[in-house]
Amino acid sequence: MAGIYYNRRVIIRLPWLPDQAATRLRFGDSKLQIANSRHQIGDLKLRIVNLKLQIGNLKPQIGNLKLRFTDLKLQIGDSRL
């Protein structure tokens, strides 16, 4: 089930992610981990590894959820960004 998990509870659903990918976003120690995040769009395959996000002053509001993303590392194929 696609969604953001906090303490193993879904608090936000992400409808644009396929359920079969079992994508999970876990908060803990300012690190956001994406598990099973391999998606295929046409012939494009993306694999996200070691994604670290700094989230400051996160308040669980559905209307005004603000996240601060820093140090985003992606691996696409054999090249690293």
Task: Give bridge partners of residue 4 from the DSSP assignment.
Answer: 12, 25
Number of alpha carbons in the 13 Å side-chain half-sphere of residue 52 = 5
34, part of any domain: yes
Whether residue 12 lies inside any domain: the answer is: no
Cβ-contact 81, 73 below 8 angstroms: yes
Asked if residue 67 is part of any domain, the answer here is: yes
Local structure of 34: helix, strand or coil: strand
Q: From first to last of its 81 residues, what are the pLDDT tens digits of the chain?
A: 455 544 444 445 555 555 544 445 554 444 444 455 555 455 555 565 665 555 555 555 455 556 666 666 666 666 544
Can you give the pTM of this predicted structure?
0.14
- Token pair 């992610």 is at which residue? 17
Q: Is position 64 within any domain? A: yes
55: containing domain: 25-80
Q: How many domains does the chain have?
A: 1
**What is residue 47's DSSP assignment?**
B
